[in-house]
Amino acid sequence: MTLITNLLATLINLATLFGVVVAFCLAALTRDLPDHRALATWEPSVTTRLYAGDGAMIAQYARERRLFLPIGAVPARVRQAFLSAEDKNFYLHPGIDLTSLATALWANLANYGSGRRMIGGSTITQQIAKNFLLSADRTFERKLREAILSIRIDQTYSKDRILELYLNDIYLGLGAYGIAQAALTYFDKPVDQLTVAEAAYLAALPKAPNNYDPYRHPERAVARRNWVIEQMRRNGVIDARVAAAATASPLATRSKRQEASAERADYFSEDVRRQLASRYGEAALYTAGLSVRTTLDPRLQQAAMRALRKGLVAYDQAKGYRGPAARLASLQGWQEALAARQPLSDVPEWRLAVVLSAGTDTAELGLRRSGAGDAVADTVQIDRKDHGWALCHIKEGRRRCAFSLDAVLSPGDVVYVETLRTGTVLRQPPQVQGALVSMDPNTGRVLAVAGGFSYAQSEFNRATQAYRQPGSSFKPFVYAAALDTGYAPTTLVMDAPIAIADGTGKTWRPKNYDGRFSGPSTLRTGLENSRNLMTVRLARHLGMDLVADYGKRFGIYDTLSPYLPMSLGAGETTLLRLVSAYAVIANGGKAINPSMIDRIQDRYGRTIYRQDGRQCANCNALSWEEQDEPDLVDNRDYVLDPMTAYQITSMMRGVVERGTARNVATLGVPIAGKTGTTNDEKDVWFVGFTPGIVTGVFLGYDTPKPMGYGETGGGLAAPIFIDFMKVALEGKPAADFHPPGGMTFQTVDRKTGRPTDDGAPGAIVEAFKPGTGPCDGNCTVIDDREMAELPADDAEPGLPPALKEKLLNTTGGLY
């Protein structure tokens, strides 16, 4: 009896000791366990996506490419595929599966010392515990901590919530996190459209996605997918017929279509990306899963890039051939050498080629394959008669030409070519750059942005980042200031030479572009023909403080120094700011805020930003009960008198119909606009508009230098505008500009401003504000012969010497 008592006492003591040891171990293991309740507020890193105005995706930004998908949106076949592959007892076990653990333990003991990888036997819940809360260390201690956390997680959250975390967190290869992104990456379809075979393939990936890459290891991928299909059959998820059909189907993965569905929108999307990063921070941009609806019109964006590239290439080729992009030391192995070179990725119509041989009239070129392969097999011949531009070049200001292809091409030359319907032609990336911006003048929505020839070549956006002199394209705002202060389009200003002392012994002598002058002329004539001398006199009478105020009021400049040369566009601004200013004139004088973003939604679909701030209380009626249409009140301020806006628009229509942009009239619709050409032809501009769209074009070298004598905004920028507007106006009825109420109209002589008969030479119908009209008699002429001196350096210590020199050199060329 004593023996039994002692034995029982010993067993109790051992059990107590074992319990104390277990409790001590559990306490040690759980002392610093992560708080599993943090999973309740888990928000995964989700891809931010940019969409064009028509819903096409144009860009996406992410550190982990993921789209969050609620568990309720996951089809049963997809859930069951993952459960069959990873954790068939998921809905039955308490977070750990003792049967699976025992199987894994037995297998590990059997494989001990063999060098094989240890089997974990983890449930989906354990994977959540490891991935979210613990490290990936393969230790016994970590497995125990993982098991404890898994039980706690299972007790705290529903099975569906745990599965939702898992399906949205797992990495499935090719940069895709979560099943929603993986479905798009591998099959280019949403999760609810996945077949059984496709769902099984995705379920095969979590263990080792690189091992089952469909492009590098297709046999392994199919074998693993078929294993998952068999598990689904064994678990009763699918029947034998469905399993057999799924097993027999090809893998059928396909690369997701081009992420930027709206082609050639890199400059636009990068500008939006910077705006988002500035507003929400870089971290949120790449993790918050924002859905951004932009203002981009994909059709116009493509037209913008095509038109700008065509214009840049035309100008560049007129200057002649500059030589090859590179040279190969030897033609041996030219295929591999050419394949290693990267072409301009966003100009797919241009291909790299190497000159294999060149003769007098023909040359043979080997082409880099345009597809994904690296091998090059194609060769083409080019003909001298198609390459007159490439035979010539400008040297020391003179055009020099050769008479054979072998004079400009040599074997080993790496060049660009483009295949046209008429044959293959040489190309070269232009050195000159430019930009195009198009906008809705009524809303400020930016419809297209072309910031240069190629984003792959240069990410610098000349539409929004390049500050350049607008030249005469600033003049409409000087004339608008005059019209706002009581002048009329028929007011006469003297077009005659001016010499203005600067107070330091130097003299400023502005000139008209053509070097001639016309005597007393109307404001209309001065703007139509871009007369510098008239503009300077007008600015002097108005006062440069007023002109500077208008430059700031329209958003062209933040500040504008009140010096007379600034009236000729000697200040610096961006194309986007100038186009926005013209949009104010086009819409009748209302302020606009140029915008590339319409709306931003967070990952849950809640709108967190909307550009259109107008309120409409009755716009969301559930049904129509014969009530009036809701009135969307436009409460924007007026920047410009609507009557002035109409007058300046009418004058700029004259620029197109009779003035410096007559080629734009070939579009055949009412268009107003203004050219701009700066000193020494360093920058050329054209900005034009209809009632529904305003578009601006700029050309110039990134490091400003003369583009060539005689190059003007009308000759270089306007043709690009025309090419773009042909697309923008296609299918739309021609709309005319409508005058505001209260204006009067009278036929006048365009040159003298005096009343004349309809149909008389030089007759034009002019618009007048109430209380104004044409001069019929001895008309006053603005002719300030004693122009004020420019401020001397000692009188204006804040004026930098470099700016003073620039102003003094602003003479002619502003056209």
- The DSSP code sequence of 296-316 is --HHHHHHHHHHHHHHHHHHH
**Residue 241 CA neighbour count, 13 Å, CB half:** 0
- At 154-179, the pLDDT tens digits run 888 899 998 999 999 899 999 899 99
Sequence-ordered list of residues with C-beta below 8 angstroms from that of 15, at least 6 positions apart, any chain: none
What pLDDT sits at residue 583? Answer: 98
What pLDDT sits at residue 100? Answer: 65
Question: What tokens were used for 539?
Answer: 């600015």
The label of the residue with tokens 């420019």 reads: 790
Q: Report the SS3 class of residue 225.
A: helix
The 10 Å Cβ neighbour count of residue 539 is 25
Question: What tokens were used for 286?
Answer: 């790449």
Output helix, strand, coil percentages for the chain, rounded to the nearest 5. Answer: 40, 15, 45
The label of the residue with tokens 């392994």 reads: 220
Among 311, 269, 312, smallest CA distance to 292 is for: 269
Scored b (16 or more CB within 10 A) or e, 41-74 reads eeebbbbbbbbbbeeeebbbbbebbbbbbebeeb
Instruction: Concatenate the DSSP letters of all residues of 236-262 into one string.
Output: TSS-HHHHHHHHHS-----PPP-S-SS
What are residue 500's phi and psi, to 5 degrees? -125, 120
Neighbour-count burial of 110, counting CB atoms closer than 10 A to its CB (0-12 exposed, 13-18 middle, 19+ buried)? exposed
Question: What tokens were used for 362?
Answer: 């023909």
Pairing mode, strands 65-66 and 176-177: parallel
Q: Give the CA radius of gyration of the chain.
A: 36
The one-character DSSP state at 636 is: P
Check: CB of residue 68 under 8 Å from CB of residue 289.
Answer: yes
- Mind spelling out the 3-state secondary structure of 523-534? HHHHHHCCCHHH
C-alpha 441/C-alpha 672 separation (Å) is 13
Number of H helices, E strands in the chain: 22, 27
Among 400, 565, 395, 553, smallest CA distance to 470 is for: 565
Below-70 pLDDT ranges, the chain: 1, 3, 6-36, 38, 100-121, 133-143, 255-263, 370-377, 395-397, 784-815
- At 628-650, the pLDDT tens digits run 888 777 788 999 999 999 999 99
Among 225, 180, 221, 223, smallest CA distance to 200 is for: 225
What are residue 90's phi and psi, to 5 degrees? -50, -45
Question: What tokens were used for 303?
Answer: 């037209």
C-alpha 448/C-alpha 697 separation (Å) is 12
Neighbour-count burial of 418, counting CB atoms closer than 10 A to its CB (0-12 exposed, 13-18 middle, 19+ buried)? middle
C-alpha 511/C-alpha 528 separation (Å) is 16
The one-character DSSP state at 627 is: P
- What angle (nearest 5°) sits at the alpha carbon of residue 645, between those of residues 642 and 647? 115
Q: How many Å from the N-terminal Cα to the C-terminal Cα in the chain?
A: 121
Task: Quote the distance between the C-alpha of residue 181 and its chain's center.
Answer: 23
What pLDDT sits at residue 145? Answer: 73
- Active-site residue set: 86, 472
The one-character DSSP state at 46 is: B
Among 579, 301, 552, 549, smallest CA distance to 464 is for: 579
The amino acid at residue 485 is: T
Q: Report the SS3 class of residue 478.
A: helix
C-alpha 737/C-alpha 460 separation (Å) is 36
**Residue 609 CA neighbour count, 13 Å, CB half:** 17
C-alpha 172/C-alpha 200 separation (Å) is 13
What pLDDT sits at residue 258? Answer: 42
The amino acid at residue 492 is: L
What pLDDT sits at residue 259? Answer: 45
Check: CB of residue 269 under 8 Å from CB of residue 59.
Answer: yes
C-alpha 286/C-alpha 74 separation (Å) is 25
C-alpha 409/C-alpha 405 separation (Å) is 6
The label of the residue with tokens 């494989």 reads: 111
- What angle (nearest 5°) sits at the alpha carbon of residue 141, between those of residues 135 and 143? 65
Pairing mode, strands 350-358 and 507-508: unpaired
- How many angstroms separate the Cα of 618 from the Cα of each of 457, 611, 615, 627, 632? 50, 19, 9, 10, 9
Check: CB of residue 146 under 8 Å from CB of residue 129.
Answer: yes
Sign of CA dihedral 539, 581, 649, 569: positive
The one-character DSSP state at 740 is: P
Scored b (16 or more CB within 10 A) or e, 491-528 reads bbbbbbebebebeeeeebebbbbeeebbebbbbbbbbb
CA dihedral 707, 710, 713, 718 (to 10 degrees): -110
What pLDDT sits at residue 372? Answer: 45
The 10 Å Cβ neighbour count of residue 173 is 19
Among 673, 656, 461, 669, smallest CA distance to 579 is for: 673
